[in-house]
Amino acid sequence: MNTPRGKALQAITAVLEEGAYSNLALRGAVQGASATDAAFIKQLVYGTLTYRRSLDYLLEQWLTRPLASLTPPIRNLLRLGLYQIIYLDVPDHAAVDESVKLAYKVGHKGVAGLVNAILRRAVRSQAALPWPDTNSVAYNLSIRYSFPEWMVERWLERFSPAETEVLCATFNSAAGTDLRVNTLQATAAELLQEFAAAGIEATPHPLVANSLHVAKASLPNLEALQAGRCTVQGAASTLVGQVVDPQPGQLVYDVCAAPGGKALHLAELMQDRGRVVALDIHAKRLGLIESAARRLQITSVETRQADATKLTAATWQPAERVLVDAPCSGLGVIRRKPDIRWHRTASDILELATLQLAILSEAASLVQPGGILVYSVCSTEPEETTAVIFSFLEQHPNFVPCSWPKQLEATWGQELTAGYLYTYPQQHALDGFFICRMGRTE
């Protein structure tokens, strides 16, 4: 079990059978592994979790007994082996042979024979996999791309079947790594030159300034990261800070700040002059912000423990800018957190919308007249986005949608509606986000 595939199997079993968090299970699996093995283990774990529904469907077509009747290690070993055959560019014989070896370790000769037979049949069937072809588009797509059917049904309400399929495929694609340039320490051009000299291929995002994309999923030893010249942040998250558009010398609140990427970006945009007060309900998570601020050499960020649903219970100095990056379903960042699809339900979205409206209403009290309130979530679901904004504006007539900074209107003007924007991975090469900019009139 000490091979990369064996470690991946242990992590997958921990997640699917014991309820472990995938990031924690993966952390244990890669401990002590080489960089190459760690990358392979990560690919195996996240890939198998991502395509679990597709894998289970195919396995059920070939097994003579229910998949659920197999022991957890064998069930997950079949998933892991099939994932390699269908989705990974590895030799078929390696996927089969290594799976059979693991079967002997976690089972017996009989189940090893079963694993061998099923995976060899999968190899023979690759050219004509038995995908469903029913009258239900949602069901067909949910099986083919491995999503809960209720989730696909939601997307079909907003997109055509063809675009929904592209969305599903995009969510299953590798996200790579986005790096936000720390403009206090470097320019995008300087970092691109530095990366090129180190043999790292990076490209500027065409829609988001100072965001560089690297195809690699992980860059743990990148010197520019360690020295604080850049930081890992999705390009859509970087766009949020640019929408807030804080100015040097201002007071700014980030009311749901941990782990701090957006708060620190706001400080960079202010040239580290002024005050960014980063609030979070969890005191331990504020340490993440403080640690990142030291790495980025930022001094204008202050951390405070506070419950964002109870802000009006305390006295706060009114601010020129307030950001509410609210807790959400996270369905817009499935590319980065593939197993979140299995941890969310439709009822979660409604519950989160109630929380989001409560936080936004409390945060409104922190905005001074003439100030700006920005609401963002990494979701494009209507209940968490426009429904929250419409309810908020109805309850707070002293807030109105307002124009975006001129440099952003030049890029996004045609897609802006009443001060808000949706970004979609299949359209913008960005995570699925919703951003709304509102001004306080009195």
- Annotated active-site positions, please? 378
> What values do phi and psi take at 264, rounded to 5?
-70, -35
Sign of CA dihedral 30, 34, 40, 42: positive
How far is it, in rounded angstroms, from Cα 88 to Cα 367? 51
Alpha helices in 51-175 (DSSP H): 52-62, 72-87, 92-106, 109-125, 137-145, 149-158, 161-171
* Rounded-to-integer distance, Cα 281 and Cα 215, Å: 34
Closest-CA residue to 209 (of 185, 179, 232): 179
CA distance 406 to 220: 36
Q: Could you say which DSSP state residue 403 is in?
A: P
Angle ∠(22,26,27) on CA atoms, nearest 5: 120
DSSP state of 397: T
Q: Are 440 and 371 in contact (CB under 8 A)?
A: yes
CA gap 333, 28 in Å, rounded: 23
Strand order in the sheet with 177-181: 202-204, 211-214, 177-181, 230-232
Cis peptide bond prior to 66, omega within 30° of 0: no
